[in-house]
Structure 1
Amino acid sequence: MTYIRLGYVAMSTELQNASPSQTMTYAQFSKLKDREAALRKLERIAQANLHNCLRLLKHNEANGIEFFRFSSKLIPLADHPELSDWSYMQGVKQETAAIMTYLREHKQVRVDFHPDHFIVLNSPDKEVLKSSVKALTFHYRMLKAMGIPPKHRCVLHVGGSYNDKEQALEQFISNWAQVPVPIQEMVILENDDTLFGVDDVLYLCEKLGIPFVFDLHHHKMNPQGDFGEKWERIVGTWEHSQLPIKVHLSSPKNEKNPKAHADYVEVGEIIELLKGNRGYAAQIDVMLEAKLKDAAVFRMAEELKHAHGFKQVNGACFQFNLSSH
């Protein structure tokens, strides 16, 4: 038997007026003549975003969803070089404390981040590496403020190939030594749909002790052999983590644009994934990367209730019996 939990990304299509990603650009900030008033406006946006995060967590609880990805845009302009004097954590203490209290009372809930693609740890440019570590430090501070153990909470891609993929992998290893240990411990790595496939990411994960987030859609776009044959190794990268193995699932938008995500995730994707697991992982947390967010979770949960080999435990949590397939 394998226990699976379905999750979704950052915002709800079902809950009204609950965006955790309201923002302000630096251009908008600059137009406000009173800097103190502009900072207060930024703080109000950040407070609203975090308040909406808590609303989303409660919405998830009501629907039996125990897995959720936070938006990385919770505090607009937090890392902007022109705002280095802004103590952005001070203005959101009340909101982060409320989330901390909620999560302490709901220990089964898993939350994490997937920072933007501009965070590149294998760049040969020292300034890019420095700004990437700075952006990850923001995520670290947010996790700590919300009382979430930061270890293995931030999914990243390997980065760019810089016209030499092998060298780019070695550059990641070289740069890794310059990343502070608390930030290293926060990182988990995902295979991508263009450059770094399962074998490439496994090489880094096994060498550096990083858990591997397997993305089935990316693997289909950028295959490196049969993922089922590597699954024991993928599961092995989570051996020293307190969190269950995590995967990403999505369906292609259409034939013209197969790499983009569809509104929903086809139920066949999760069956394919679980057959590949062959019982190696007792629990798998499945992040659905779908345009319709929680609506995609609700649809898949409804389909799994009637699918062969699945037994609903609660809302978006299921038991899967491989022997029935």
Structure 2
Amino acid sequence: MKIGFCCKWIDTVEQIDGFKPKDAAKQLNTRVTTITWLNRQTREVAEQCLWDLMVHNIESIRLLVERVGNLDAHLRMVRLGSDILPAYTEPTWSYFWRRADVRDYCERHFPVVGELARRRNVRLDFHPGQFCVLASTDPGIVNRSLEEFEYHVDMARWMGYGRSFQDFMINVHIAGREGAAGILKVWPRLSTEARNCITIENDETRWGLDESLKLKNTCALVLDIHHHWIRTGEYIQPTDPRVHQVIDSWRGVRPALHYSVSPENIV
């Protein structure tokens, strides 16, 4: 069993609220910008900012994987953030990420991260944001969601993943009014690597575990214990037959699940 965490490395509890200028942990965390800031700059300044962020962020995830790879074996698991290549799918600035020199840099440096993760036996994954709604009834939203999902696939592919079923996890909720049927409808439009990496997680509002299970023969499923409890008021038991269906959806690969609890003052 491996226990992992999401995206951000901190050395002290105080760093949850931000880093000080000399904090060493800054180097293990990505930096970001905003579309508003980029749009206020000259093209030259904005492009240099994106280049600098790319260089820093790819190096930061390499350092993060290296640090996690030095932990005890059962702790070698981490979710990488979605902000590694800012504005990758934003219409105004996405051209930058199609530049030959930018693609060349990514193709040379992302593989170092993947090779390190495999050598240190660090399990990696992505979780695109809540605006990635593959099962929407709006074709425009579906198109943009596909672009966003394939952005994560590009990074996984550069790291050497997506070659076999669940050698890397890119996890999303069903979301959207179409439910599981919407995922099946969009399935042919996903790249081969995307179909190898995608996992579907139950959420706490519209689409719960039973809806996810409609996809058990299509892709691997992630059981989120907390989402299930919020939606149903039920603490699902290991002996529940649905748990075994989730495990079987991984086709022999070690499954991943999400486990968390609400603060006691809320529950």
TM over 0.5: yes
Q: Within 5 Å, give how 1:84-233 maps onto structure 2.
A: 84-86=94-96, 87=98, 88-106=102-120, 108-149=121-162, 151-152=165-166, 153-161=169-177, 168-206=179-217, 209-223=218-232, 226-227=236-237, 228-229=239-240, 230-233=242-245
Q: 2:90 aligns with which of 74, 80, 89?
A: 80
Larger radius of gyration: 1
Residue type of the partner of 1:169?
A
Task: Provide Cα deviations, 1:208-250, integer angstroms capped at 9, x if missing partner.
Answer: x21111111111111287453222211111115xx31111111
Give the TM-score normalised by structure 1.
0.69
Q: 1:13 aligns with which of 10, 14, 17?
A: 10
Give the TM-score normalised by structure 2.
0.82
Residue type of the partner of 1:23?
V
Aligned-residue offset at 1:131: 0.7
Quick check: 1:239 aligned with 2:247? no
- Give the structure 1 partner of residue 19 of structure 2: none
Q: Residue 98 of structure 1: SS of its match in structure 2?
A: helix
Aligned-residue offset at 1:104: 4.3
Q: 1:24 aligns with which of 27, 30, 33?
A: 33
Aligned-residue offset at 1:168: 3.3
Q: 1:222 to 1:22 in 2, by over 3 A?
A: same
Contact 1:12 1:18 in 2 (8 A): no
Q: 1:216 to 1:44 in 2, by over 3 A?
A: same
* Structure 2: gaps of 5 or more residues: 12-23
User: Which structure carries more helix by proportion?
Assistant: 2
Q: Hey, what's the Cα distance between the residues in 2 that align with 1:186 and 1:19?
A: 25
Identity percentage over the alignment?
20
- What's the Cα RMSD here? 2.2
Task: Provide Cα deviations, 1:140-166, integer angstroms capped at 9, x if missing partner.
Answer: 1101111223643211101034xxxxx
Q: Residue 129 of structure 2: SS of its match in structure 1?
A: coil
Farther off after superposition, 170-179 or 37-46:
170-179
Q: Residue 81 of structure 1: SS of its match in structure 2?
A: coil
Aligned-residue offset at 1:62: 2.0
Q: Hey, what's the Cα distance between the residues in 2 that align with 1:212 and 1:175?
A: 17
Q: Hey, what's the Cα distance between the residues in 2 that align with 1:16 and 1:180?
A: 35
Q: Hey, what's the Cα distance between the residues in 1 that align with 2:92 and 2:104?
A: 18
Aligned-residue offset at 1:97: 3.4
Q: Residue 156 of structure 1: SS of its match in structure 2?
A: strand
Task: Provide Cα deviations, 1:276-318, integer angstroms capped at 9, x if missing partner.
Answer: xxxxxxxxxxxxxxxxxxxxxxxxxxxxxxxxxxxxxxxxxxx
Quick check: 1:40 aligned with 2:53? no
Q: 1:148 to 1:213 in 2, by over 3 A?
A: same
User: Which structure carries more strand by proportion?
Assistant: 1
Aligned-residue offset at 1:61: 1.9
Residue type of the partner of 1:103?
A
- Give the structure 2 partner of residue 275 of structure 1: none
Q: 2:261 aligns with which of 251, 258, 267?
A: 251
